[in-house]
Amino acid sequence: MSSSTQLLTSILDANETYAEAFARSDPALLQKLAKGQSPRIFWLGCSDSRVSAELATGVAPGSIFVHRNIAQCFHPGDLSASAALAYAVHVLKVEAIIVCGHTGCGGVRAGMQAAVESKQREDKGEKVEPPKPGSVEDTIAKWIAPIKSLASTQLPSCSSDPLEALELAHLTDSHVRDTVKAVADSDLVRAAWDEGRDLSVHGWVYHVGTAKLRDLDCGWKGVGVRADSLSRPSTYAESEPRE
């Protein structure tokens, strides 16, 4: 039996245990979920395996409608994210949208690294050759391009080591704020506000080292109308290593 087969078999075995425990502990919820879903929250999060929306928030299954991609991006023309947002807002009628980043994000780190390398080559007068279309490098470069652009605006004008000067945590916060604004400015969300819907968009960061969520106080509940602050100073992960 191959390693992957053993892994998947163990997961199916664990599911048997989970299903039996679920049926015993809350059969009513299981029956309710079988009839449909009525989540009140749409979660746009990162694909990172360490960050689970349900576990981080402690809610029951059926409470959050989730869309995940690398570095919780909302790109113009991204049909997958747009379709998920459209369904959440206009079919499920969610009340809140959460854009959730996290510490130690590989996608944000890749964007930061790309910005640093581009600046270093530019300073040396080196020509940067684009990656081969369709390659792994090309696919990743296209996805993280907005993060790279954001990182480029935060690079210091003079530094012997710009990567040291640019904190990953700071860039992560900035990227979440930008994504919140992009979602809030989307036609899909504005259409809901035009209908008078009670819908808010918020930006959170999950601290992997402490399992705590932090509100960035960058939310919106209407065109030009800021959402209520949910910031809690006690949730800042002071013990988590700086990045």
Q: Lowest mean pLDDT: which of 14-18, 122-126, 212-216? A: 122-126
Predicted pLDDT of residue 157: 63
Instruction: Give kind and range of the element (H or E) at residue 14.
Output: helix 3-25
Known binding residue 90? Answer is no
Question: Are 195 and 93 in contact, with CB atoms under 8 Å apart?
Answer: no
Question: Are 72 and 101 in contact, with CB atoms under 8 Å apart?
Answer: yes
- Annotated catalytic residue within 67, 73, 100, 105: 105
Predicted pLDDT of residue 124: 83
Predicted pLDDT of residue 121: 85
Range of the domain at 62: 39-243
Question: Are both 29 and 97 inside the same structural domain?
Answer: no
Question: Are both 63 and 136 inside the same structural domain?
Answer: yes
Residue 218 bears catalytic tag = no
Predicted pLDDT of residue 164: 67
Is the confidence at residue 238, as pLDDT, over 50?
no
Give the Å distances, CA to CA, from 152 to 19, 119, 170. Answer: 48, 8, 13
Residue 67 bears catalytic tag = no
* Separation between Cα atoms, residue 128 and residue 115, nearest integer Å: 12
Mean pLDDT, to the nearest integer, of 196-206? 97
Question: Are both 11 and 84 inside the same structural domain?
Answer: no
Question: Are both 148 and 120 inside the same structural domain?
Answer: yes
Structure tokens at 178: 């930008």
Question: Are both 92 and 4 inside the same structural domain?
Answer: no
- pLDDT tens profile 104-156: 999 999 999 999 988 888 878 888 778 899 999 999 999 999 999 999 998 87
Residue 226 sits in a domain whose CATH number is: 3.40.1050.10
Known binding residue 102? Answer is yes
Residue 197 bears catalytic tag = no
Q: Which residues of 204-221 are buried (b: 16+ CB within 10 A; e: fewer)?
A: bbbbbeeebbbbbebbbb
Structure tokens at 235: 């949730």
State the residue for tokens 């502990």: 25
- Annotated catalytic residue within 67, 73, 100, 102: 102
Predicted pLDDT of residue 239: 41
- Per the structure, how many domains does the chain have? 2
Known binding residue 48? Answer is yes
Share of the chain above pLDDT 90, in %: 80
Residue 102 bears catalytic tag = yes
Residue 170 bears catalytic tag = no
